[in-house]
Structure 1
Amino acid sequence: MRRRSAHRVQWSWLGAGLLALAAFGLAPEALAHGVSENDKAFIQGATGVHVAPYVYLGAKHMVTGYDHLLFLVGVIFFLYRLKDVVHYVTLFAIGHSTTLLFGVLTGVHANPLVVDAIIGLSVVYKALDNLGGLKRVIGFDPNPKAAVLIFGFFHGFGLAAKLQELALSRDGLLPNLLSFNVGVEIGQFLALSGILVLMTLWRQTPSFGRSVVVANCALMCAGFVLIGYQLSGLFLERSA
């Protein structure tokens, strides 16, 4: 009996690990995940092509981009087949890659606080979708694949806004930007692999069924905090 109880406690920590990921979204550092001072100094002073550093920066940004990862946790929460995971994550990658490249190369700019608030909304949307509450709130169930792609566009604009703030050199811009995007995909793959391992193990335990509502409510709360943080920043910006 003791062994069984210990086994349940052990596997319950897998669910707690995913909830901890949501909790990271509540930390100020996570809410304002940007580019470190050292990375800023490199980017602003670099000219010419720097493939490896930009791959590293892209991967680092995605791995520390808790808003992106929270959305992906919501997306894959009820995806049990690897084929489905690949399909949805590919749509997300197409979305954020398109607007990342488009935004930086064309100079199209959106207020990063507004974009990040929409990214927070994407987390709320996916958690609510997982709980089956979208139809009650908006009256219908949106196409889940189209929603992931559309929100991917906004996530890409969020990435573009971070780079636009740094005034990248036009010398070597395209290869550096492509390298950064490759890094983003690598970081996404690494982070998602770890999340999938935890999710797969967690799903094999009785605690998963009992924790579905709690986990998605935690995701939703993290999304609302992200929205509130960005909108408060927008209010302060316009009040200054």
Structure 2
Amino acid sequence: MLFPLQRAGAERWTPTRLLLLSCILLLAFTLPAMAHGIATGDKGYIQEISGINLIPFMYLGAKHMVTGYDHILFLLAVVFFIYKSRDIGIYVSLFAIGHSTTMLLGVYFNIGINAYLIDAIIGFSVVYKALDNMGAYRVWFKYQPNTRLTTLVFGFFHGFGLSTKIHEYDISPDGLVPNLLAFNVGVELGQLLALSGILIVMGYWRRTQTFWRYAYSLNTTMMTAGFALVGYQLTGLFLSL
């Protein structure tokens, strides 16, 4: 944990360099996230079919997770300082249990939550975890929250985010449960694919001296991207009222 006393050898970026990196990351993550909704072609296809269609729903679930930059940012923040495969498995499993539970319940029981509000909470989850990685809560509150519990809780919110997107598909009730399970399997496959890429990059980066030099700055940038996501969604909520 690096905040506020960074590890020896760590380098604080100048405001100009940090701003430049923030802009690059915001363009890479925030702009696609703004368009992160239901593709017209996908929605039209789902509305035209009925019955059990496992493969199409698995594909849609995987596509949603891989292109879900808010989910990927949170995953990156969660595994940022986790090195052991067992611990990574525990945290990823908690996240999967959380978002799978609320996604399935949210769709099956038709629980409606404002998409802007839930996506703002998802953006906040990125802010929260980046600050946790920086050790902010131990400094500010002299207390370290239970990281496993918070991963599970935010997983619940991410699941409601998924369920709000599924509601937009207007899925036929015929074959609903098998199709939802297939969608969830696709989400997990997409998550594994995204996580594999993250861990490969992180594994190489951690072997270099630049990891501890720039870990603080990257978490600061992730926090900035999370705030941007929150601001965008709250603006959308305000304009929709």
Q: What is the TM-score of this pair, normalised by structure 2?
A: 0.88
| Aligned with 2:160 (options 148, 157, 161) | 157
Residue 31 (structure 1) shift: 2.6
User: Distance in 2 between the 1:37 and 1:23 partners?
Assistant: 23
User: Distance in 1 between the 2:145 and 2:173 partners?
Assistant: 40
1:26 to 1:172, Cα distance in 2 relative to 1, 3 A: same
1:176 to 1:213, Cα distance in 2 relative to 1, 3 A: same
User: Distance in 1 between the 2:133 and 2:26 partners?
Assistant: 15
| Aligned with 2:197 (options 194, 197, 201) | 194
- Written as runs of structure 1 = structure 2, the 5 A alignment for 1:140-219 is 140-219=143-222
Q: Which residue of 2 aligns with 1:61?
A: 64
User: Distance in 2 between the 1:186 and 1:220 partners?
Assistant: 26
Partner secondary structure for residue 145 of structure 2 = coil
Residue 30 (structure 1) shift: 2.0
CA RMSD of aligned residues (A): 1.6
Structure with higher helix content: 1
Contact 2:131/2:137 (<8 A) preserved: yes
Q: Which residue of 1 aligns with 2:11?
A: none
Q: Which residue of 2 aligns with 1:10?
A: none
Q: Which residue of 2 aligns with 1:85?
A: 88
Residue 26 (structure 1) shift: 2.2
1:22 to 1:147, Cα distance in 2 relative to 1, 3 A: farther
Please say if 1:109 is aligned against 2:82: no
User: Distance in 2 between the 1:176 and 1:21 partners?
Assistant: 35
Paired positions, count: 220
Residue 175 (structure 1) shift: 0.4
Contact 1:21/1:70 (<8 A) preserved: no
User: Distance in 1 between the 2:169 and 2:62 partners?
Assistant: 18
User: Distance in 2 between the 1:30 and 1:138 partners?
Assistant: 32
Q: Which amino acid aligns with 2:55?
A: A
Q: Which residue of 2 aligns with 1:124?
A: 127
